[in-house]
Structure 1
Amino acid sequence: MTKWQLPPQGTTKLNVDGAIFHTNGSAGVGLILRDWEGKVLLAVSKKEVAVMEPLEIELIATLRGLQFCIPLGLQSLSIETDSLILAQELSKLELSNYMFRNVVIDIKQLQTRILVCSIVHVNREGNELAHKLARFGRNVIDTSVWWESVPHSVEQVLWTDLLL
């Protein structure tokens, strides 16, 4: 898939991404939740500290996404990430023995709180809005949330996702 796709009717789609900012020892999380018509329900840019591994920030982005979505009472959620390793790891029934195991356990436990919850890999072009929101995390103090909108700096990507 080379661009963002609408989820099936009745399903919401959460795109997640992480970005590491080596110069100041922080990272950003980007989340965008849209319904089956492409309507933005929620957009988030969040700063994380003391994260220096790409897989770690991708896992944290997924965890934060679930933490934002569970209170919304969603019945069907498709989570998309551009991290193939993360998507493969979270699809396994058994857990691998690696250093981010606790975050994987937390994600899997949160997934059970949504009736239908899948995590799939998409290429970067299909996850561009989440990527831009993760990069925007450099500019926030802790967390910025937009309900039914996105920051002006990423509106062009949203438009492109829906019309191209």
Structure 2
Amino acid sequence: MICWNPPPMGWVKLNVVSGFSIARQKAVSGSIIKNEEGNILGSGFRVHHLVGTVALAEAIALLHGVQFASEMGSRYVIAESDSRLVINNINSKEDDYSETRPLTWDVKASTRNFSECRFQFVAREGSSVAHAMAEEGLPIRLFLG
């Protein structure tokens, strides 16, 4: 069973999630920040208009999550997303020519206030708290319907 794993002592873990509607070109992103004891330090949601793909929705969710962690004053951050594509683009040393390029560049730039930030892929089941928050924070059935 895949479950949430705490960050190392002194670090926080940021989990992000997004929901996306092709028909409405809307996305919702949610983020949750927890410490090594599993205590929630902050969470938030945003609705985004004119989003055309799932990859863009995930990149937007990660950007807003990283900005949120920075605003909270976090110094050591592990950012997790269930989008392998977006995480790979951010971690790549090669030039990113994907549609998410402007967003992944902004994500990297937003980490300058951190002492250290790691980006990693986590299966959807490993971020169940963020997904549950998204379902509670915005009626996904109405949003995506």
What interval of TM-score do these two structures reach, taking the shorter chain for normalisation?
0.7 to 0.9
Q: Which runs of 5+ in 1 are unaligned?
A: 141-164
CA–CA distance in 2 between the matches of 1:75 and 1:38?
17
After TM superposition, list the pairs within 5 Å mapping 1:14-33 onto structure 2.
14-33=14-33
Q: 1:6-60 deviations in whole A, cap 9, x for unaligned?
A: 1111110000011113454321101010011000011112111111311101000
* Matched-pair identity in %: 29
Q: Which amino acid aligns with 2:40?
A: V
Summarize deviations over 1:125-158 as a string: whole Å, max 9, x none: 1012222333445449xxxxxxxxxxxxxxxxxx
In the other structure, the counterpart of 2:96 is 96
- Asked whether the equivalents of residues 47 and 137 of structure 1 are also in contact (C-alpha less than 8 Å), the reply is no
Contact 1:19 1:135 survives alignment (8 Å): no
Letter in 2 for 1:34: K
Deviations 1:56-90 (A, max 9, x none): 01000010011111122211000011111111111
Q: Which runs of 5+ in 2 are unaligned?
A: 141-145
2:113 alignment counterpart: 113
How far apart, in 2, do the equivalents of 1:20 and 1:44 lie?
17
TM-score w.r.t. length of structure 1: 0.78
* SS of equivalent to 1:112: helix
How many aligned positions are there? 140
1:115-130 aligned at under 5 Å gives the runs: 115-130=115-130
Other structure's SS at 2:113 match: coil
**Mapped contact 1:46–1:137 kept (Cα < 8 A):** no
Task: Check whether the contact 2:29–2:57 (CA below 8 A) recurs between aligned residues.
Answer: yes
Question: Whole-Å Cα distance in 2 between the matches of residues 136 and 49 of structure 1?
Answer: 20
Distance 2:136 2:27 in 1: 10
- 2:7 corresponds to: 7
Residue type of the partner of 2:94? Answer: E
Instruction: Tell me the residue number matched to 2:143.
Output: none
Write the letter of the residue equivalent to 1:125: E
Bigger relative contact order, structure 1 or 2, given CA contacts below 8 A and separation 6+? 1
Give runs of aligned pairs for residues 5-154 of structure 1, distance below 5 A.
5-136=5-136, 138-139=138-139
For the residues of structure 1 that align with 2:99 and 2:23, how far apart are their CA atoms? 24
In 1: Cα distance, 2:25 partner to 2:135 partner? 14
